[in-house]
Structure 1
Amino acid sequence: MADAAAYRRVAESVRAKIEAGDYADNSERRLPSVESIAKDHGVSKQTAHNAIQALATSGLLHVVRRQGAFVRERPRDRAVVRDRTVYRDEIGYFFDKNAQNWRAVSQPRHQIDPAPDHVADLLGVARGENVLIRDRDMGPADSDQALQVAISYISLQVVAEIPVVGGSETGPGGIYDRIEEHYGAPLEWHETVSARLANMDEQDRLAIAPTAAVLVVTREARVLRQDGSYLVAEVNETSMPADLFAVSYTVQRDDSAAWPRDVGASAT
């Protein structure tokens, strides 16, 4: 119990120094050696090692064999705040205003495979049915590190009606412009935001720890057809490290919360 308390004390001390920016004065953001941390905190090398491993497991540090521990870029330095607004620039629609210049940091992947069950349900296709999957790693234009994994799912019926959405070159505005042009109606979007632990694929692509959480935005792109019915033309699921992103929006009043209040109606 004493050893456990000691390594937690050391881990919290090192975490506090990281948050204070104490290790940001060198370009590598390298921590002192385990021996130095042990001496500074009056603990054994094993206790200091356990503290460093705990911080690495939490995603705060990156440990390189025979080189030491390095502080990952601090979340508050590059956090992206999402809101509930869709924007447009010369390239097309986008949803993260302060990630407007982000681009695919690796070659996009296209494949035909079944969608996850919850995505199939949203698309209105049978579970296990093949769909078109467009898969991209997104990040800042000046970086090769992905900060978002964005996967689009499109039913093969929509691909048959609009073949260009299945190609590598979808033209100005991308698939959303092609869908609106085909149906002659504006898209509407509905998003659900959730959180979970990163899966193995996300851990690899986002370079995050196995215990790291991801924020997942599941977005349905709906369009009104000429017969008056709505079609979910695409489902996009974007996952991102939860410590780098936040969701911010204005809270709206329902009619039941109108102001000024009807004092007489609420009196007992």
Structure 2
Amino acid sequence: MALWHQVAQALREAITTGVYPPGSKIPREEELEEQYGVSRTTVRRAVAQLTTEGLLTPVRRGGTTVRQPAERSTLTLDTQVWRDELGYYFSQTVQNLRALQPPTVSEGPCPPDVAPLLGLAVGDPVVIRDRVMGDPESGRVAQLATSYLPSDLAVGTVLAQADTGPGGIYDRMETDLGWGRLDWEGVITARAATPEETNLLQLAPGVPVLCVIRTTIATAGAAEGRVVEANITCRDASGFEVRYPIRRTP
């Protein structure tokens, strides 16, 4: 194990066991050099690693502090779709979130992680709808939602417009486009945050995003049997926990 790995592991253990509690400062670089018998470069690399992991927060001219654990909101794992006066929604936890800015709509190539969901080849054209959602009172961003729709189904329709009217794209699919009663499937994953996500969600260094991936399947009309949308909603992984019931089998 490299020296900086050893120092990082020792500091990590000191943090997790409470030697350095949340909000406290770790020793200065010169003190850590002496404590572990290593160089300044080794100490800095170890501290940088723990900062990337989200355990430490550098304070300009104020040393390095142990990061306070984020207060988590419960994201209930719903297995049913809900509806209110605004249209369909997929978790009662986030029912009150609203768009904080107008959605952006563009055409672009289908990314590698989305192509299998839509049954497309990487690079095939898709309509991309981006939305920034959050608390309308505080203006704090809570989630970023991106919908990918096959261009052959969406281009030239209301689905490619910024304002899709009451009920959003799902009502347009079910009523205006005649794609029948929609079905959905969901998957939860996590990944490293992009710089844009880190900025919009105000993530601490090293914090990943929790991604809820939902696919929409048409049951009638010209799109019958096709996945007509892949929606990826990203949240601060340190700020949410997923909860679900566990039941006994008969």
Shorter-chain TM-score bucket reads 0.7 to 0.9
The two structures, once aligned, show a CA RMSD in angstroms of 3.9
Equivalent residues in 2 for 1:21-170 (5 A)?
Answer: 23=23, 31=24, 53-66=48-61, 74-160=69-155, 163-170=157-164
Alignment-mate amino acid for residue 146 of structure 1: V
Percent identity at matched positions? 34
Residues 17-62 of structure 1: per-residue CA shift (max 9 Å, x gap): 6998x64xxxxxxx55866xx79xx899x79987765543222454
Query: Any gaps of 5 or more consecutive residues in structure 2?
Result: none
Amino acid at match of 1:97: Q
Distance 1:15 1:180, change over 3 A: same
CA distance in 2, matches of 1:95, 1:19: 40
Counterparts in 2 of 1:123 and 1:141: CA distance versus 1, 3 Å? same
CA–CA distance in structure 2, aligned partners of residues 216 and 2 of structure 1: 35
What corresponds to 1:196 in structure 2?
191
Secondary structure at the counterpart of residue 148 of structure 2 = strand
Aligned residues: 245
> Are residues 51 and 3 of structure 1, via their aligned partners in 2, closer, same or farther at CA, if it must alter by over 3 Å?
closer
Q: 1: CA distance between counterparts of 2:234 and 2:206? A: 15
1:179 corresponding residue in structure 2: 173
Which one of 232, 238, 250 corresponds to residue 227 of structure 2?
Answer: 232
TM-score by length of 1: 0.70
Alpha-carbon distance change, 123 to 33 in structure 1, aligned in 2, over 3 angstroms:
closer
Tell me the secondary structure at the aligned position of residue 75 of structure 1.
coil
TM-score by length of 2: 0.74
Q: Is the Cα contact below 8 Å between 2:181 and 2:220 reproduced in 1? A: no
| Structure 1 CA distance for aligned equivalents of residues 207 and 19 of structure 2 | 18
Whose helix proportion is higher, 1 or 2? Answer: 1
Which protein is bigger by CA-based radius of gyration? 1
Greater RCO (CA < 8 Å, at least 6 residues apart):
2
Partner of 2:217 in structure 1?
Answer: 222
Letter in structure 2 aligned against 1:75: A
Instruction: Summarize the Cα distance change of 1:7–1:250 in structure 2 as closer, same or farther, 3 Å threshold.
Output: closer
C-alpha distance in 1 between matches for 2:117 and 2:174: 19
The runs of 5 or more residues in structure 1 that have no matched partner are 24-30, 260-268
